[in-house]
Structure 1
């Protein structure tokens, strides 16, 4: 059995379960792994009972060793594996387990200065910040939390306190985001800090709207991905607070209830109060009910809904219904 591929062993294991349980496990696996395992399942006409017992036995000992290591009992795990398998096989399993367990979530941030982490996360959704700070060193997390705006501090602290175990795919998604931001930061520093998104966005925000449209149109033709990254940073969900009430009401008339409820699921108290204030009493009550009905939601779904609201604001500006003034002297006005 030692020469059997991992995907074939996984296929045998899943065939030992019910279809519903097997499907539940497959949902958390990478697409390439799912394809490899399903190919093996399709090729199997029957599973030899002796082979099935061996696979189940190996899985049991692996899971037990995993638990022992997680509890700090690496020596005990090694001893248990050596009793179950020969020395070479036990050594191979321990090596794989240690390599897997040594990679903790957000490992890349453990050597990053707290001020840099603050700069990386300050524009992120409060739930995203909460997930990150709940996995970094407590001293790091404390320094970052202290550096955030006071209203955001409270929101993030509350989310950390109420947070359960984050889904692996959510952690992976946020890790990818942070790694990309660190990569962008490193590129900016390598070029002497002379450019980058953090430089062009304020420039465009202070550019006349006609000139900005022309620049963005050209960028969309040359580099659509870069244009989208710039656009997402130019006017963000939190900037809605800087619109006056009439502009917010125009935005609310264009958004559907489901999108608004999803966007408000992750809004800070100030934003929630501002939106509710610009709805009728009945509409505000319906929105609160819609938010409660949603239950737990994915961060990316909340952020997508918030982007839709931002897009509506930009559409209103393009149509001349509202004006987002340029320059530091004026805020966003109708």
Structure 2
């Protein structure tokens, strides 16, 4: 060990929070402020406490710290974020119990975050992507996304490919961590880093889905506002919207498929206040027994709150949208049943 001159204090070994505090103090208010905005509230408290208790930092100590930081930054090592890297980064910066608490949350989210986000990608985009991938990779991806997403994507794939992927998914063996990491990294780059581009393909459909869930007056207000500023977008959205009044525009088979799944009492409530032509169109899509029950209730039944009517109608339109999303019916069929308007 090298002897130190008498009276010269031994250089301190700065710990994680102290290192961060020292670097931020050395950077000055302007530059440090930009970095401080990246920390959350708990981290800021830790750094603030470390800075308050830091005391004097000699020039040699600061130079050693900067040299360490520079060496780490310029070592040429490529970066790829993992839970292990996050834990290594936090260790020493935060107390062990806080690191453990954060990591338990991180580990709970990392494995599912990428797959949850992939599950939210448009099924048509994901299906087109998988058709270009190796079947084993495609099967792995489908086995990790949400079942509802996988089902919709498979419905868009050719039958032979769909059957092949199912066989592969049934015979899967455990995937090694390194392979899964490569797949997740690639998906992150292909979808998440280009999310804005992917969203552009499906923006109108997503906006239509939001507007469909609004109240009627809110829906009309939004469309009116859009028509004044972005008329083309408003026209596209109008073509994608589906309201309770649009039910009678569906092909008879589609109407029957929807109403068969709606309880009779809910149909009665939904038809309260409708005009005779609309009511006849709905009743014609019911079985004879259900039709007699609905007609009887509409004649003899009591009045119901408007809130209940709105909820009943929304249940029908939501089911129609869900069935259309699964490819079970078509909402914008060219086949209009004009006989019901006579």
Q: TM-score, normalised on structure 1? A: 0.32
Q: TM-score, normalised on structure 2? A: 0.31
Structure possessing the higher radius of gyration over alpha carbons: 2
